Amino acid sequence: MSPEPTSSSPAADAAVFRVLFVCMGNICRSPTAHGVFETRVRQAGLGHRVQVDSAGTHGYHVGAPADERSQQHALRRGYDLSGQRARQLVAPDFEHFDLVLAMDWDNLALAEQLCPPRHRRKLRRFAEFFQRSDHTVVPDPYAGGPAGFELVLDLVEDGSEGLLRHVQRMLAATG
């Protein structure tokens, strides 16, 4: 599990790049993205240079583990989400993280309301990093069946490739 956000500035520790994934309840999409991207970061040998976390725009599930269906589908692909616990997005997150990635337009709009104007450049849609998919969001699988959870994984794996390239470029630029 990633450390809790602090008020320290990313500029104070330029060697570490911090990514936060955001969905509504922090039990399906954002924990999946957190787990997949964290795995990709470790596989790339960057675990010491990249921190990953996730949060929800709503506090419905604070302290709860990732949805069991998300965990099961992720585990079938080799991603363990069992250590994650839901938390709510808070204003200091925008100070702490270098990139805050929303799963859909509603998540983005709610995050924008909380985000201080000086940090708006950090807030983006995760879909901007998709390499192959033409989806504009990662759809919420919560009320659906297995196909929705598989789609989330497909999109997250796709976006994680593009995001990893972006983070590698950012790290190279900062030394």
**Active-site amino acid positions:** 23, 29, 140
Residues sharing a CB contact under 8 Å with residue 40, sequence separation 6 or more, in sequence order: 160, 161, 164
The residues that bridge with 135 in the sheet, in sequence order, are: none
Judge whether 81 and 35 are in contact, CB under 8 Å.
Answer: yes
Identify the three-state secondary structure at position 55. strand
- How many residues in the chain? 175
The whole-angstrom separation of Cα 52 and Cα 55 is 11
The dihedral through the CA atoms of 95, 96, 97, 101 has a sign that is negative
CA dihedral 84, 89, 95, 100 (to 10 degrees): 70
